[in-house]
Amino acid sequence: MAKYCSLPPGVDGRLLALGMCLLLAGCGDPIGTSCRFQGSGFTASDNCRHRCLEHRRIVCPDGRAIRPQICSGRRQCAPGSCPGGQVCYHVDAPFELESYCVPADICGSQPAGVLKRWEQASLATSRETLAEWQAKKQQRGQLTPTAPAQALPVDPKPETR
């Protein structure tokens, strides 16, 4: 018969599990750390706590597009919600609103007013791209065939001898 582990008296298993989850959630490198990918395809992973920005296109306030090889801060932020020294940038993705806290100096030093407008502009651009994709998707769903389907010709069975 197998023996099972038991917790010491007064220790709640749920509390222990929650503690482990919180401990593991803090794993990975913080914002601004140089990132690297391991593996490929669906099994690829990076060293970041949140997301490696290497495959995300960031358009700077001056119009330059960069793909920084650094770790982002937290995901799904809103303009003005990131900690000091960070700004919320919305990636121009067609399928969902995707945003990350990024270092405020990712595009070089910028005045606070420029950074605030940049956060709002990235959100507006992301929303426009998402709305365009949704409209195309809806339009494609309303398409009707231009000609009726026809049966494919079937070759008769070859004679066997």
On whether the CB atoms of residues 47 and 28 are closer than 8 A, the answer is yes
Q: What is the pLDDT of residue 68?
A: 93
Q: What is the pLDDT of residue 126?
A: 93
Enter the tokens of residue 138.
């809806």
Backbone angles phi, psi at 114, to 5 degrees: -65, -45
Q: What is the pLDDT of residue 85?
A: 96
Residue boundaries of the structural domains of the chain: 29-141
Which residues in the chain show pLDDT less than 50?
1-5, 16, 18-25
On whether the CB atoms of residues 59 and 86 are closer than 8 A, the answer is no
What is the distance between the alpha carbons of residues 83 and 61, in angstroms, rounded to a whole number?
20
On whether the CB atoms of residues 32 and 48 are closer than 8 A, the answer is no
Task: Give the bridge partners for 29, in sequence order.
Answer: 48
> What is the pTM assigned to this prediction?
0.67
